[in-house]
Amino acid sequence: MMTSIMHNDEVYDMYHSIEQSCNTILNETFSWGFFDFKRKVRFKVFPDLTFNARSYRGVFINTIGVNIGVLPLIHALAVNYAKLDYVCDFNDGKQYKREIVNGNIKKILATCYVNISRHSLDDDTISSFFDSDDMGDRYAVAYSVFEKMLYFFMLHEYAHLLCGHDRKSVEFGSHTSKSSERNTREYRQWQEIEADMWGAVMLCETLHLDMKPVDDSSFMDKIYKEIGLIYTSIGLLLMSFSFANPLAETIESYSVSLHPHPAIRIANAYETIHRYLELTSGLEVNILKDIMTQSLANLLTLAGDLDMPIYWILTGETENIYLELKRLRDNVSDKHVAETYKGMSSVIEKLHNNMSLF
């Protein structure tokens, strides 16, 4: 049976309450005001099941919009990820068969990227999304991954607004020989890289990670776990964009897209977080590196199990990933990068001063 999400009061109430609670979270997180150029920003859930988000400017209010379909997908993804034994080393006696969990993840991604209809879901899909299995302690990990994915999703869109990506005219660096259409695509790809970078930094800040090490091992364990889950959440979300996408086979084929290849986005986000925590967390570099490596290894295990081409790119094409990042960076002017950096630094500073525990 198909359930329509349109003209359905229950569904309407549900997405309205999600919208309200996300707005409350954001307003509390950005205690200095969830504002953008003196305009208020609101979070809006759209009654559309496709996996998409957007941000746009209005006369009095700016909007970050996420389609309602994003929520059950990332929840189901997080729940299944937390069932994988190499991700969670709980001694809770719970055993989930790796092949079955991998199969679930494949089904969830296929539903969202291949078989989705905009406004209705069949009942089977609904039950696979809202897995009622009692996961014990693993649910805390699943919920944390879900929450961070949702936060990153919103903060990526917020970064687009803060960077003024919708308003900036196309402004290039030295590569004038290419066609302007190609340049525009590369510029859009660079905007995605910027939104990922600043979204990731804002995520670290909003999660109070700018704290100094203390002599309390359980507290430190918690911090390490939180950092690992930031990497995991961003990586899992970005990796899912490559599912069943024929363009994902090579980095080059993504040149027709307005988004960079997910492998490029993962490498960029991971490196940004690593550098940012290195500068601000006061934690040992080696420990930070270990956390990042472990999260990446887990992600790659999943990508390998699911037979995703991104596995080969992330493991065998590191050099090409960095060349592509550099190429996208070189396509925009130094002035553009410096302006964005300056604007975002003041946002991060405000966040840092208001959120910091020290």
Q: Which residues bind Zn ion (CB under 5 A)?
A: 192, 195
Among candidate residues 128, 164, 310, the one with its CA nearest the CA of residue 237: 310
Element at 41 (helix H, strand E): strand 39-46
Residue whose CB is less far from Zn ion, 81 or 198: 198
Residue whose CB is less far from Zn ion, 48 or 192: 192
Shortest distance, position 40 Cβ to Zn ion, whole Å: 21
Residue whose CB is less far from Zn ion, 228 or 260: 260
Distance (Å, rounded) from C-alpha 346 to C-alpha 330?
24
Strand partners for 120: 4
Distance (Å, rounded) from C-alpha 74 to C-alpha 148?
10
Contact assessment for residue 52 and residue 70, using Cβ atoms and an 8 Å cutoff: yes
Distance (Å, rounded) from C-alpha 175 to C-alpha 81?
42
Residue whose CB is less far from Zn ion, 154 or 195: 195
Shortest distance, position 256 Cβ to Zn ion, whole Å: 17
Residue whose CB is less far from Zn ion, 193 or 291: 193
Answer positive or negative: Cα dihedral of 269, 275, 279, 281. Answer: positive
Contact assessment for residue 42 and residue 74, using Cβ atoms and an 8 Å cutoff: no
Residue whose CB is less far from Zn ion, 13 or 166: 166
Residue whose CB is less far from Zn ion, 192 or 205: 192
Shortest distance, position 192 Cβ to Zn ion, whole Å: 5
Residue whose CB is less far from Zn ion, 186 or 192: 192
Contact assessment for residue 39 and residue 60, using Cβ atoms and an 8 Å cutoff: yes
- Return the HEC string of 64-80: EEEECCHHHHHHHHHHH
Distance (Å, rounded) from C-alpha 262 to C-alpha 272?
15
Shortest distance, position 198 Cβ to Zn ion, whole Å: 11
Burial grade of 86 (CB within 10 A; 0-12, 13-18, 19 or more): exposed
Shortest distance, position 305 Cβ to Zn ion, whole Å: 28
Closest-CB residue for Zn ion? 195
Residue whose CB is less far from Zn ion, 121 or 195: 195
Shortest distance, position 45 Cβ to Zn ion, whole Å: 18
- Cα-flanking dihedrals φ and ψ of residue 162, to 5°? -65, -35
Shortest distance, position 51 Cβ to Zn ion, whole Å: 13
Shortest distance, position 161 Cβ to Zn ion, whole Å: 11
Shortest distance, position 85 Cβ to Zn ion, whole Å: 33
Distance (Å, rounded) from C-alpha 210 to C-alpha 355?
9
Among candidate residues 59, 69, 259, the one with its CA nearest the CA of residue 150: 69
